[in-house]
Amino acid sequence: MQLCLFLIGAPAEQAPLDEPALRHGAATIEGLDRLIVHEPTGARVDPRIAPADDTPSCMLQWYFDDLARLEAACERDGPVQRALQAASVIPAAQSFAQQVMAVRTLRTSQPDVTQRCSYLVAYEGIAEDFNAWLMHYLKHHPPLMLQLPALRELEIYTRIDSTSGLPFARANAMQRNKVVFDDEAALADALASPVRDAMRRDFHAFPPFTGATPHFAMRSIYGNLASH
3-class SS letters over 25-91:
HHCCCCCEEEEEEEEECCCCCCCCCCCCCCCCCCEEEEEECCHHHHHHHCCCCCHHHHHHHHCCCCC
Average pLDDT, the chain: 91
Confidence of residue 109 (pLDDT cuts 50, 70, 90): confident
Cβ–Cβ under 8 Å, residues 151 and 109: no
CA dihedral 202, 203, 205, 211 (to 10 degrees): 170
Interstrand relation of 169-170 and 96-107 (parallel, antiparallel or unpaired): parallel
Per the rule left: phi > 0, alpha: psi between -120 and 50, beta: everything else, 77 is left
Task: Decide: 87 and 9 in contact? Cβ < 8 Å.
Answer: no
How far is 99 from 82, CA to CA, in rounded Å? Answer: 18
Annotate 92-119 with b (16+ C-beta within 10 A) or e (fewer): eeebbbbbbbebbebeebeeebeebbbb
Which tens digits make up the pLDDT trace of 4-56? 999 999 887 666 788 889 999 999 999 999 999 999 998 788 888 877 778 99
**3-state DSSP call for residue 117?**
strand
| pLDDT per residue as tens digits for the range 194-226 | 999 999 999 999 999 999 999 999 999 997 554
pLDDT, tens only, 120-155: 999 999 999 999 999 999 999 999 999 999 999 999
3-224: in CATH 3.40.1710.10? no
pTM surpassing 0.85?
yes
